[in-house]
Amino acid sequence: MHPVIRELHELGEFEQVDALFATIWNFEPGGRPISAELMRALTHAGNYVAGAFDGDDLVGASVGFFGADGSLHSHITGATTGRGIGFDLKVHQREWALDRGLERITWTYDPLVRRNAHFNLAKLGARPAEYLPSFYGEMADAINQGDESDRMLAVWRLKDPQVEAAVLRRPYPLEVPADAAVGLADVDGAPVVGRTDARVVLVAVPEDIEGLRPRDPGTAKAWRHATRDVLGTLLEEGAQVTGFHRKTFYVVER
pLDDT digits (tens, 9 = 90+) for 90-124: 999 999 999 999 999 999 999 999 999 999 999 99
Per-residue pLDDT of 196-218, as tens digits, reads 999 999 999 999 999 999 999 99
Q: Please compute the mean of the pLDDT values over residues 120-131 and round it to a whole number.
A: 97
Give the pTM: 0.93
Q: Describe the strand order of the beta sheet including 181-187 as a list of residue ranges.
A: 190-193, 181-187, 200-204, 249-253, 240-245
Confidence grade of residue 139 (pLDDT, cut at 50, 70, 90): low
Q: Please compute the mean of the pLDDT values over residues 142-149 and round it to a whole number.
A: 64
More confidently predicted of 147 and 177: 177
For residue 222, pLDDT over 90 is answered with yes
Q: How many percent of the chain have pLDDT more than 70?
A: 97
**Biggest alpha carbon–alpha carbon distance for the chain:** 56
- Classify the C-alpha dihedral 202-203-205-206 as positive or negative: positive
Distances (CA, A) of 31 to 34, 110, 149: 9, 17, 13
Q: Which domains occur in the chain, in start order? A: 4-167 (3.40.630.30), 181-253 (no CATH)
